[in-house]
Amino acid sequence: MPLNSGWVERLRSEFSFIRGNVLILFVSWLLISFGMYMPLTYFSLYVLELGGTPFTVGIIGFTYSLSLMSVQFLGGYFADSYGRRRLVVTMTFALAGSYILYALAPTWKMLLMASIVEGLSLVYVPALRAILADSLPPEKRGLGYSISVLVFAPSMVSPFVAAWFVEHTGMLRGMRLIYLVSSTIYFSAAALRIRLRETLRERRYKLSEALKSYPRAFREGFRVWSSVPRQALWLSIIYVASFSFTWLCSPYYVIYATEELGVDETFWALLVSIQNAASYVFSIPLGKLVDVVGRVKPLVASMALLSAAVSLFITGRIMFLPIAFALLGMSSMLFSTSYQSLQTDLVSAEYRGRVIGFTNFFAYMSQAFTQLVGGYVYESFSPKLPFILLASSQIPLMALALATLSKAEKAASY
């Protein structure tokens, strides 16, 4: 009994930080994950069903990313200047509404409009990440960020639910039903986030004031780098570059798998679930690893895993696909955990919103153009070429990370 009691006590102590804001965010992400991955499973095929082409998929991704990019400076400025909570709650409701537009789209052009609304709604991303960073104790950041990935575990089921809808009602009607279900789930998450507590002093603002603040928000996004360690800027550069190459291919995995490799919709759902499951199974041990060995080595290791995964994917051998998608899941989780932990270490609370907003602005700008380029290259040159570029890009990024971030942990501000 004493042994069991001691084990339970250690477990309770290890996870005692999951309360208040952290608990609310984790539960809301649990809901959102289920709602998000259902339509994502077949989104590119939905575009084709509504009269689009692979390049059209790139155009929609381009438009979405530009919309998302355009509000990141403003979101970061508001998060630091006016508080995090109100922005997160209000725009989560707006995000839920955008999914209704996706459900009702008669053509791919309406999907384009829905993507703009969705992208603008995500103005709250810097505030959301900042409120989590504010709420995590320094010694638990790696574990906390890894659990923030683990709470997306319901997404393992989402592709199979999406496959059921598509199989029983067809691609078009099935996707419409999926988006309506997802919208309901998002509204539930938004209602839960009303219970978040502000981590900074909250100030009231008006919409007219928000629009007038944009030039100042843009300037502050650049000015903030004089107040944070230089390694934080290098980390952002590496993140943006990695993000760019990843989105060169992301919308086209499903098209390549179904059209080039002969994968059917049900097997595709299984592959997506394997990718998600790998993230969740290894999330806590790898998150703990990030807390124990530091942030930089795991960051570099994640890039090596990504290169290996994409190389296996483009071999064209069906037997390698489950392995490739398991490695993709592990790579994504490890990169996210180590990157967010290191950024939180390096940037103190009063600057986090602006640093996140700045980084996201350029990440989403590059995401916009690389999706467009990826669609053009896929359709006009070779379906395999975007994936080759992604796999090969990881080698110089690994070298850059080792050269610029090797002393980053020493510069960290706890």
The DSSP code sequence of 52-79 is: --HHHHHHHHHHHHHHHHHTHHHHHHHH
Q: What is the pLDDT of residue 409?
A: 62
95: which 2 tokens? 């995000």
Position 121, amino acid: S
CB burial of 328-352 (b: ≥16 within 10 Å; e: otherwise) equals bbbbbbbbbbbbbbbbbbbbeeebb
Token pair 């971030």 is at which residue? 405
b/e per residue 197-212 (b: at least 16 CB within 10 A): eebbeeeeeeeeebee
80 sits in which H/E element: helix 72-81
Find the angle CA(326)-CA(332)-CA(334) to the nearest 5 degrees.
100
- CB of 145 within 8 A of CB of 296? no
* pLDDT tens per residue across all 414 residues of the chain: 455 566 666 667 666 667 788 889 888 988 988 888 889 888 988 999 998 888 888 888 888 888 888 887 777 777 777 778 888 998 999 999 999 999 999 999 999 999 999 999 998 888 888 888 888 877 676 677 777 777 777 777 888 899 899 989 999 999 999 999 999 999 999 999 999 888 777 666 555 666 666 677 667 777 777 777 888 889 999 999 998 888 888 888 888 888 888 888 788 888 988 888 888 787 778 777 777 777 888 889 999 999 999 999 988 788 889 999 999 999 988 898 888 888 888 887 777 777 877 888 888 888 778 878 888 888 889 899 999 999 999 999 999 999 888 776 654 544
At 50 the three-state DSSP class reads: coil
Q: What's the pTM value of the predicted model, to 2 decimals? A: 0.67
Residue 145 CA to residue 151 CA, distance in Å, equals 10
The reported pLDDT for the residue numbered 414 is 43
Q: Which amino acid is at 107?
A: T
Question: Would you give the distance in Å from CA 397 to the centre of its chain?
Answer: 19
- Measured CA to CA, the distance from residue 112 to residue 109 in angstroms comes to 5
DSSP state of 261: S
Q: Is residue 317 classed as helix, strand or coil in its secondary structure?
A: coil
Amino acid at 2: P
Question: Do 235 and 345 touch, CB atoms closer than 8 A?
Answer: no
Backbone angles phi, psi at 213, to 5 degrees: -80, -10
CA distance 25 to 42: 27
Write the burial class of residue 287 (CB in 10 Å: 0-12 exposed, 13-18 middle, 19+ buried). Answer: buried
Which backbone phi and psi does 263 adopt, to 5 degrees? -80, 130
Q: Compute the distance between CA of residue 340 and CA of residue 344 in angstroms, rounded to an integer.
A: 6
Other Cβ atoms less than 10 A from the Cβ of 134: the count is: 16
The tokens of 128 are what?
A: 């959301």
